[in-house]
Amino acid sequence: MDDIRPPRRMMDVQPRSTPQPVQRTATQPVRASTPQPSVTPSPAPAPPTPSVSVTSSATPSTPAVPATPDQAVALTGMTLPPKVKAPVAAIVLAVLVCLGLIGLTVFAYLKTQSDTKSNGDNQTTQQTEAITPEAVDASQESIDAEIGTTNDDQDFNAAELSDESLGL
């Protein structure tokens, strides 16, 4: 059967540090890399030119350019990285956690906004209504109640840091 070989492309040619056996056919000339002298610099050898060869004769046992990665593995002896299965469960869990956190944040923000708005509404409502002297008295009583919760002598008792109290 006729076998049409794909053209040998420049990108398929891998730079080699050491000479390696080259798959060649009768129609494809191959240039082996020559070592450069260390003393005198010389221009780098020209890369091998691609050539297209279509033969109708018997095909070689192995194609010049591997058609599939598996064939490339067979040729070069390299190993492909094993197929990785994405950790679906971990990804789903992470997404759910993120969504939950986003939801909590939005909920807290909305609640804050609603509280602020309700306070503003209350204040607006109260502002439109005439404040009575009794309301002023109530505010005064609230202030007195708050200051009454504090006891300066108890809260800042000098005796608690005395040498006698500390046993020094």
Partner 1 sequence: MNKGRKSRVFGLLTGLILLFFSTSLATAQTDTAGLQDRLTARKAQLKTRLTGAQTTRLKERCKAAQLIIANVNTRLKTVQSNRVNAYDKIIDHLNSLVSRVGNQADTTKLQADITGLKEKTASFGSNLTAYKVIIDDLQAMDCGADPSGFKASLEAAKSLQTQLKTDAAAIRAYLNEIIKPTIAALRVQLAGGQQEVIN
Minimum distance from residue 151 beta carbon to partner 1 (Å): 9
Q: Which is nearer to partner 1, 37 or 148 (CB)?
A: 148
Q: Which is nearer to partner 1, 9 or 83 (CB)?
A: 83
Minimum distance from residue 78 beta carbon to partner 1 (Å): 16
Q: Which is nearer to partner 1, 113 or 140 (CB)?
A: 140
Minimum distance from residue 59 beta carbon to partner 1 (Å): 37
Q: Which two tokens stand for residue 47?
A: 């890369």
How far apart are the C-alpha atoms of 101 and 93, rounded to whole Å?
Answer: 12
Binding site for partner 1 (CB under 8 A): 81-82, 84-85, 87, 123, 126-127, 130-133, 135-137, 139-140, 142-143, 146-147, 149-150, 152-153, 155-156, 158, 160-161, 165-168
Which residue in 54, 48, 2 sits closest to 25, CA to CA? 54
3-state class (DSSP) for residue 30:
coil
Q: Which is nearer to partner 1, 56 or 132 (CB)?
A: 132
Q: Is 159:165 a contact under the CB 8 Å cutoff? A: yes
Minimum distance from residue 96 beta carbon to partner 1 (Å): 19
Q: What is the DSSP string of 79-135?
A: -PPPPPPP-HHHHHHHHHHHHHHHHHHHHHHHHHHHHHHHHHHHHHHHHHSPPPHHH
